């Protein structure tokens, strides 16, 4: 029997229950629901609605129900519509009439909003931790890369040489912003909706501020209508996760590209590559490809849920139950992806010789040659034209650029050192640039930001 059966003249249709029940996916909110319910019981006790003895009995029944669920010995009944009603039903079985007091001054509307916030708080903290681990791996690989360099690309055309460490840290900084966004979302979601009731609060002397502090939430809702209908935190979390997915997707694309025979900059570790069922020679970058592919799904979780929210009147509507599956899916997939990409990048090996050879192509020092002239007083546009003409001539006449430079009145022999392998790179000294000195400073800043973010994370887990 459902909790609301007494209102109806007939038993619910099986097909109606099949369509509306959410138990099969919202059971993962069990621990969060119990936590919210225990805080509510303390509130009922403070308000004098239950005695201290009754309160202890309710908490005991809730804890036992929580244990049964955690140990998978909880017996679900056909009338259990969702995890919230299943828990309340069990508490009534365990605590009898006292159990029947649990839902005083509360609705499933504020109850589910509370449970989902608590669950999101825990999950976003875990995701931030996984992102930080991936950042630590990128930092380790950047340190190991030392002076190795590679071509940097624009439009997928070789552009300028960059340190391999610079390339790796570029992906690391994107994750720094992801982690920062997760902390900002955590800050905004840490507001208790408990006490908003169905939509209007309660005539019982409950204290939502007190309940918020029991839940370690620094604030309570300001408006009960808003409290039960607000799922901004889910949408925000889905955006944060989708953008992490986009970042991992870009890493995946590059790993797939750079491990082709055509590039051959990266070699995948055997434990992180897959074989082909037909082609014996194949070693496939499936992890990289799935990291790329999952982004589509994560974006879908976000956009689908935004469409669910659009146009909903205040306050609670059952549409809001559709918040859970996209959110759970996004949490699961991004967690798997962060771990997998960490494994992939932690074990990939770099063919430094090949990357450096590609970066040593004389054309990649073109802008450095132009800037060499600028430093000697030549206006940049003129310098650009001179170098462009030299590059064209070198290609058309198949004459090495060095010969043309040596013979050129604006350059001469002095400029030849610019063509030495890696010499152009050392000249990128400006802050945030791709040369060794700048990257050393960048690496320090990255490392100290990582420490700061680890401390921020610790403040969410304690």
What three-state secondary structure class fits 92?
helix
Site for ligand ARG in 5-24 (CB under 6 A): 22
Q: What sign for the dihedral angle of Cα 344, 345, 347, 353? A: positive
Instruction: Output 213 or 321, the one with its CB closest to ligand ARG.
Output: 321
Other C-beta atoms closer than 10 Å to the C-beta of 417 total 10
Instruction: Output 321 or 402, the one with its CB closest to ligand ARG.
Output: 321
Q: Rounded to an integer, what is the distance from CA 189 to the centroid of its chain?
A: 16
Applying CB under 6 A, which part among 107-115, 161-169, 281-289, 350-358 lies near ligand ARG? Answer: 107-115
Of the residues 33, 45, 80, 82, which one makes contact with ligand ARG according to CB under 6 A: 82
Applying CB under 6 A, which part among 106-114, 278-286, 379-387, 400-408 lies near ligand ARG? Answer: 106-114
Tell me if 145 sits within 8 A of 350, measured CB to CB: yes
In 3-state terms, the chain is what percent helix, strand and coil (to 5)? 70, 5, 25
CA 174 to CA 179: how far, in whole Å? 9
- Which of 26, 19, 226 has the alpha carbon at shortest distance from 110? 226
What DSSP string runs through 258-319?
A: HTSTTT--EE--GGG-B--SS-TT--B-HHHHHHHHHHHHHHHHHHHHHHHHTTPPSS--GG
Site for ligand ARG in 22-41 (CB under 6 A): 22
Q: How many residues does the chain have?
A: 462
Structure-token match 């036992």, residue found:
64
Q: How far is the CB of 324 from ligand ARG (least distance, A)?
A: 6
CA 237 to CA 249: how far, in whole Å? 18
Query: β-strands 349-350, 157-163: how paired?
Result: unpaired
Site for ligand ARG in 218-257 (CB under 6 A): none
Instruction: Output 316 or 350, the one with its CB closest to ligand ARG.
Output: 316
**First-to-last CA distance in the chain?**
40
Q: Considering the rule CB under 6 A, would residue 196 count as an interface residue with ligand ARG?
A: no
Instruction: Output 24 or 441, the one with its CB closest to ligand ARG.
Output: 24
HSE (side-chain half, CA atoms, 13 Å) at 34: 20
Tell me if 228 sits within 8 A of 109, measured CB to CB: yes
User: Among 84, 249, 276, 277, which one carries the catalytic annotation?
Assistant: 276
Q: Considering the rule CB under 6 A, would residue 55 count as an interface residue with ligand ARG?
A: no
Q: How far is the CB of 1 from ligand ARG (least distance, A)?
A: 16
Instruction: Output 116 or 186, the one with its CB closest to ligand ARG.
Output: 116
Other C-beta atoms closer than 10 Å to the C-beta of 343 total 16
Instruction: Output 22 or 356, the one with its CB closest to ligand ARG.
Output: 22
Q: Considering the rule CB under 6 A, would residue 106 count as an interface residue with ligand ARG?
A: no
Query: β-strands 191-192, 219-220: how paired?
Result: parallel
Q: Which residues contact 60 (CB under 8 A, 6 or more apart)?
A: 95
Instruction: Output 24 or 140, the one with its CB closest to ligand ARG.
Output: 24
Active site residue 448: no
CA 271 to CA 273: how far, in whole Å? 6
Q: Strands of 104-216 (E only): list them.
A: 149-154, 157-163, 191-192
Applying CB under 6 A, which part among 58-66, 187-195, 315-323, 393-401 lies near ligand ARG? Answer: 315-323
User: Among 37, 55, 155, 247, which one carries the catalytic annotation?
Assistant: 155
Instruction: Output 90 or 108, the one with its CB closest to ligand ARG.
Output: 108
Q: Considering the rule CB under 6 A, would residue 317 count as an interface residue with ligand ARG?
A: no
Active site residue 84: no
Q: Considering the rule CB under 6 A, would residue 108 count as an interface residue with ligand ARG?
A: yes
Q: Which residues contact 275 (CB under 8 A, 6 or more apart)?
A: 282, 283, 284
Q: Considering the rule CB under 6 A, would residue 321 count as an interface residue with ligand ARG?
A: yes
Of the residues 86, 112, 179, 241, which one makes contact with ligand ARG according to CB under 6 A: 112
Q: Considering the rule CB under 6 A, would residue 134 count as an interface residue with ligand ARG?
A: no
Q: Considering the rule CB under 6 A, would residue 305 count as an interface residue with ligand ARG?
A: no
Instruction: Output 258 or 316, the one with its CB closest to ligand ARG.
Output: 316
Q: Considering the rule CB under 6 A, would residue 109 count as an interface residue with ligand ARG?
A: yes
Applying CB under 6 A, which part among 105-113, 335-343, 395-403, 422-430 lies near ligand ARG? Answer: 105-113
What DSSP string runs through 347-396?
A: H-EE-HHHHHHHHT-GGGGHHHHHHHHHTTT--HHHHHHHHHHHHHHHHH
Of the residues 258, 265, 316, 327, which one makes contact with ligand ARG according to CB under 6 A: 316
Please work out the total of residues on this chain that contact ligand ARG, with binding judged by CB under 6 A: 10
Applying CB under 6 A, which part among 144-152, 272-280, 317-325, 383-391 lies near ligand ARG? Answer: 317-325
Known catalytic residues?
A: 155, 276
Q: Would you tell me which residues interact with ligand ARG (CB under 6 A)?
A: 22, 82, 84, 108-109, 112, 316, 318, 320-321
């Amino acid at each position: 029997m459902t909790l609301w059966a007494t209102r109806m003249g007939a038993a619910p249709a099986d097909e109606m229950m099949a369509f509306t029940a959410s138990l099969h996916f919202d059971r993962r909110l069990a621990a969060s629901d119990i936590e919210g319910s225990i805080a509510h019981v303390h509130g009922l006790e403070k308000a004098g609605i239950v005695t201290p003895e009754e309160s202890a009995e309710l908490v005991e029944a809730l804890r036992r129900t929580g244990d049964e669920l955690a140990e998978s010995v909880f017996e679900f009944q056909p009338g259990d519509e969702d995890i919230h009603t299943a828990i309340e039903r069990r508490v009534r079985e365990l605590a009898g009439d006292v159990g029947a007091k649990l839902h005083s001054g509360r609705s499933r509307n504020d109850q589910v909003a509370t449970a989902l916030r608590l669950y999101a708080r825990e999950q976003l903290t875990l995701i931030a931790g996984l992102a930080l681990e991936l950042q630590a791996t990128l930092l380790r690989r950047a340190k190991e890369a030392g002076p190795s360099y590679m071509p940097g690309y624009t439009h997928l055309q070789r552009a300028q040489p960059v340190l391999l460490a610079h390339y790796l840290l570029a992906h690391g900084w994107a994750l720094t912003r992801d982690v920062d966004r997760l902390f900002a979302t955590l800050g905004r979601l840490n507001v208790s909706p408990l006490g908003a009731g169905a939509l209007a609060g309660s005539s019982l002397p409950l204290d939502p501020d007190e309940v918020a502090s029991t839940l370690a939430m620094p604030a309570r809702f300001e408006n009960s209508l808003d409290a039960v209908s607000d799922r901004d935190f889910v949408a925000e979390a889905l955006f944060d996760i989708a953008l992490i997915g986009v970042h991992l997707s870009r890493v995946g694309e590059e790993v797939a590209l750079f491990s082709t025979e055509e590039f051959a900059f990266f070699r995948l570790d055997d434990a992180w590559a897959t074989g082909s069922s037909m082609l014996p020679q194949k070693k496939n970058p499936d992890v990289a490809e799935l990291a790329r592919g999952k982004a589509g799904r994560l974006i879908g979780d976000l956009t689908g849920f935004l469409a669910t929210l659009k146009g909903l009147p205040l306050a609670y509507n059952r549409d809001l139950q559709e918040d859970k599956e996209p959110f759970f899916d996004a949490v699961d997939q991004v967690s798997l992806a962060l771990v997998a990409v960490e494994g992939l990048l932690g074990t990939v090996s770099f063919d430094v010789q090949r990357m450096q050879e590609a970066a040593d192509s004389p054309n990649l020092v073109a802008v450095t040659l132009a800037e060499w002239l600028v430093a000697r007083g030549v206006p940049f546009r003129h310098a650009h034209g001179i170098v462009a003409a030299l590059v064209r001539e070198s290609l058309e006449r198949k004459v090495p650029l060095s010969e043309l430079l040596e013979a050129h009145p604006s350059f001469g022999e002095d400029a030849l050192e610019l063509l030495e392998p890696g010499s152009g790179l050392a000249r990128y000294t400006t802050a945030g640039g791709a040369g060794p000195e700048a990257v050393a400073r960048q690496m320090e800043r990255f490392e100290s930001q990582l420490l700061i973010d680890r401390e921020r994370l610790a403040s969410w887990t304690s």
